[in-house]
Amino acid sequence: MTLKLSLTASVMVLGLTAPVSSYPLGINGADPSVIQTEDGFVSVESRAGRTLLVRSAPSLAALAEAKPVRIWSDRERLGEVWAPEMVFRGGQYEVHFAAGIGSDHRMFVIRSSDPLAGYSHAVEIALPEDRWSIDGLPFTYEGTNYYVWSGWQGDTDVQQDIFLAPMSERGQVQSPRATISSPDRAYENIAGDTPSINEGPQPIIDPAGQLHIVYSANGSWGADYCISDLRLKAHGDPLDPHSWEEPAGCLFGANPETLAENGTLAREAKGVGHHTFVLPHGSPLGATNASAAVAFLYHGVPAMKTPDNFWAAREWFVGTFRWVPNVSYGADPGWSLSFSERSQ
């Protein structure tokens, strides 16, 4: 039976009958990626830095019980396979992931017409400047294809910026790359760690049709990891760094010192970030309803835990977000996001 699920009500998305607190989904690990299909939900994850797994279930809550299916293994010994992202483009499922050792991390993609099987060999995505890169994925905005990712300006691990570049219809990323965000604000360097981090970019389009790149800041190895937003100015050029605005703090995080005025304090987990919007086929256009609460997933460490290895203790959590109008990031008000640890 094919299930036709709607994102217009969070209760339907989560398969719940009443509001509940944000909860661990039951999947241990980091960097969730989930898309909605006509049959339910599909997730992808990396295991042991060597293998990519997918799960399929009729509801988000059922993903943890779904049997993981291996779709790719690192037989070529690329090394350190991180943060896979699933999208559906041109009639195919694509999984974009980073792989490499140390400064050799680059972006790769595998493709299939079936989300659970039949994926191609990994193909490296040739990005401009050929630098260390992670967390990349393609999207389309106003008829133009783009690729967004996190990476280095040079050859050393000083900081991670967010880059954007145009992409051809054939999927080739073109030059030049534009730096649309750098971790140069106080709330993005709250612990003074090196490297400073902007990563996990996720494109989404607001009810006014404006593009947002929602990303994670601070180190994922600590409790200050949080979610912030880049909003494209009205009539702005996505490849012009001056066309982007950002809030004066994170929109979701466990440290109140990092939060914007309209930010949400995370209480169920710490080190929250590297989220995924649960959208039909992963399309940025899937959540333009101004009144709906939409599901998103993020990783974090349960608030009551004090693990010796923070990274190893991360789990997938479920929450929701809504669009909020007339929020000023800079000179102009526009739509922002309000995150919640509750289902509605």
Ordered domains of the chain (ranges, CATH): 10-338 (2.115.10.20)
Q: From residue 129, how far is each of 85, 169, 206, 256, 296 by CA, in Å?
A: 22, 21, 31, 37, 32
Q: What is the pLDDT of residue 272?
A: 98
Q: What is the pLDDT of residue 23?
A: 64
- Give the pLDDT confidence of 181-203 residue by residue, as tens digits: 999 999 999 988 889 999 999 99
- Give the pLDDT confidence of 293-340 residue by residue, as tens digits: 999 999 999 999 999 999 999 999 999 999 999 999 987 899 999 999
Q: Any bridge partners for residue 137, and if so which? A: 148
Using 50 as the pLDDT threshold, list the residues of the chain that sit under it: 1-22
Which residue, among 257, 262, 224, 268, has the nearest Cα to 246 in the 3D structure?
Answer: 262
Token pair belonging to 171: 């999927």
